[in-house]
Amino acid sequence: MRLSAENMEQLRSANAEWPDQSLLHLPEKVLQFGTGVLLRGLPDYFIDKANKQGLFNGRIVVIKSTDRGGTDAFDVQNGLYSLLERGYEAGAKTEKVIVNAAISRVLSAATQWNEILACAENKDLQIIISNTTEVGITLVTTDATALLPVSYPGKLLAFLLKRYHYFNGAQEAGMVIIPTELITDNGAKLKAIVTELARLKETGDEFIYWLHTANDFCSSLVDRIVPGKPAKADQEQTEAILGFEDELMIMSETYRLWAIETDRERTRNILSFALADKGVVLAKDINRFRELKLRLLNGTHSFSCGLAGLSGFRLVKEAMQDETFTAFISALMLEEIAPIVARGDIDKKEAEAFALEVMDRFRNPYIDHQWEHIAVQYTSKMAMRNVPLIQALYQSGEKPNSYMALGFAAYLHFMKPLLGRDGKNYVNQQGMILNDDKADSLFKHWNLGLSVEATITQILSDQHIWGANLSSCKGFAEAVITNYFQLLEQQPLALLKTNRQKSVA
């Protein structure tokens, strides 16, 4: 039997968390641009949870932005879908199924544009959420005159203009607009583009004043791994246990964070779903959450990716099953990265708590996170995430041979480019194609005929690659060179074990 509103009462079981029928009749309060799994696994998750607690009492109108596929599954299932929440929380393995009833309907921007604009007349509608990929928040100047805008900012402007005119410019008709695209200061950038389009459209100063004062463009940071649809065998097994079929079933990890930047009291009142879960954070400045994620999660990925690849691990969870590798990641985060992160407005306990959550996320047995994917644009990731950490660690010269130096040496070893058989692509010594914009620069460094020591020093000195001269970090070049030669002589796991024993001793 298929999951739907009609069948819901027959399907209820103790194997899932179900919504009450009354939640299917709540007013529409949210307009959401995007049907992707990240939105359904995070913002929609929080809204559904708040509805079940009687804290938000509103549903979501979802806008399907692309013309690929249809909305049939959402129509058949009345917007209902099940979320498999799986992973570790506070060191304990958890798994549960949640039937989400937050979505009221799905409209297609390609074929139902007038129905979408009609939503602007709904006084209950107060929030707009988006996830249109990073390229979605771009300026398309032709949208200023288009009947059907192609870009998300163009569609947003058309919607807000319709609302402005329908409610005669009333301040209380303003929206809380929260982009979740993975762009720093996404709210500010979206506001700037919409404002520019409004000027090109010659909407007038009064509308632009209303746009800026009545509406709150909130930058936000989302953090949750939502792989999407489970593997076929996994889904069939889960459906057999639950007793229903669900074409919209998705899976996520247990960890969740949605940090939303605002200093307006009205916005806080509108976003009442934040009270339902500690994973929603409303703050005047969300940079601290970005810093935690960038340094402790993303930075640790980059420092450990080369070692994992050289050790033969394909998946992050496989590496976390190895005691030696896990000890390296734990020491890297808790002994080196966390103390640096805690030097600003983040205290040490918060940094360490986040590091432990990262450990839980890395070891999640349900997430097949491939190291090869983490290695895409490896050099740029290392530069953005970890150069500031290296500089901070070595500024005092107290860490002549660090975990960071070992991770960096492994990066150099793993990323040493060879020209592939096709004469076009670079590959590493394992034969993996290097999808890295800086591979050509690395190749040139390695083929100048210099000694290994001189080559590594030259690479570290290349400010075009790193935006800094890393060879000037006292002791770092020497530590990287030492570790590089050790990696040539020993298996990475053996070296990790030896180094750990030395540090403990």
Span 245-256, pLDDT tens digits: 999 999 999 999
User: Which class in CATH covers the domain with range 8-283?
Assistant: alpha beta
CA distance 457 to 470: 9
Cβ burial of 195 (10 Å; 0-12, 13-18, 19+) is middle
- Dihedral sign computed on CA atoms, order 439, 441, 442, 443: positive
Q: Are 79 and 51 in contact (CB under 8 A)?
A: no
What would the pLDDT profile of 178-211 be if each residue is shown by its tens digit?
999 989 999 999 999 999 999 999 999 999 999 9
Q: Is the pLDDT of residue 502 over 80?
A: no
Res 84: pLDDT = 97
Q: Is the pLDDT of residue 146 over 60?
A: yes
Res 344: pLDDT = 80
Q: Are 332 and 500 in contact (CB under 8 A)?
A: no
What would the pLDDT profile of 365-374 be if each residue is shown by its tens digit?
999 999 999 9
What would the pLDDT profile of 305-318 be if each residue is shown by its tens digit?
999 999 999 999 99
pLDDT > 90 in the chain, percent: 90
Distant-in-sequence, close-in-space partners of 138: CB < 8 Å, separation ≥ 6: 151, 153, 193
Beta bridge partners of 59: 28
**Mean pLDDT on 275-288:** 97
Res 67: pLDDT = 59
Q: Is the pLDDT of residue 55 over 80?
A: yes
What would the pLDDT profile of 449-467 be if each residue is shown by its tens digit?
999 999 999 999 999 999 9
CA distance 72 to 177: 27
Q: Which two tokens stand for residue 275?
A: 């009270």
Res 400: pLDDT = 66
Res 500: pLDDT = 73
Res 71: pLDDT = 67
pLDDT category, 66, cuts 50, 70, 90? low
- Dihedral sign computed on CA atoms, order 475, 476, 480, 486: positive
Res 503: pLDDT = 65
**Mean pLDDT on 492-497:** 90
Which region among 70-79, 130-139, 393-402 has the lowest average model confidence (pLDDT)?
Answer: 393-402
Res 69: pLDDT = 54
pLDDT category, 77, cuts 50, 70, 90? very high
CA distance 502 to 495: 11
Ranges of CATH 1.10.1040.10 domains, the chain: 287-504
Q: Is the pLDDT of residue 136 over 80?
A: yes
**Mean pLDDT on 126-155:** 92
Q: Is the pLDDT of residue 114 over 80?
A: yes
**Mean pLDDT on 63-68:** 75
Res 395: pLDDT = 85
Q: Is the pLDDT of residue 145 over 70?
A: yes
Q: Is the pLDDT of residue 48 over 80?
A: yes
Q: Is the pLDDT of residue 501 over 80?
A: no
Q: Is the pLDDT of residue 226 over 90?
A: yes
Res 13: pLDDT = 83
Q: Is the pLDDT of residue 398 over 90?
A: no
CA distance 362 to 216: 35
Which residue has tokens 């298929």?
A: 2
Q: Is the pLDDT of residue 397 over 70?
A: no
Which residue has tokens 């229903």?
A: 244
Q: Is the pLDDT of residue 161 over 90?
A: yes
- Average pLDDT of the chain is 94
Q: Which amino acid is at 87?
A: G
First vs last Cα of the chain: how many Å apart? Answer: 62
pLDDT category, 90, cuts 50, 70, 90? confident
Q: Give φ, ψ of 207 to 5 degrees.
A: -65, -45
**Mean pLDDT on 360-386:** 95
Ranges of CATH 3.40.50.720 domains, the chain: 8-283
Res 422: pLDDT = 84
Q: Return the C-alpha torsion angle 484, 486, 487, 493, nearest 10.
A: -130
**Mean pLDDT on 394-411:** 85
Res 134: pLDDT = 60
**Mean pLDDT on 469-496:** 94
Q: Which helix H or strand E contains 252, and what residues bound it?
A: strand 250-252
CA distance 378 to 411: 8
Res 484: pLDDT = 97
CA distance 335 to 188: 35
Res 499: pLDDT = 77
Tell me the CATH architecture of domain 287-504. Orthogonal Bundle (1.10)
CA distance 139 to 142: 9
Res 89: pLDDT = 84
pLDDT > 70 in the chain, percent: 96
Res 8: pLDDT = 92
**Mean pLDDT on 277-285:** 97
**Mean pLDDT on 388-405:** 84
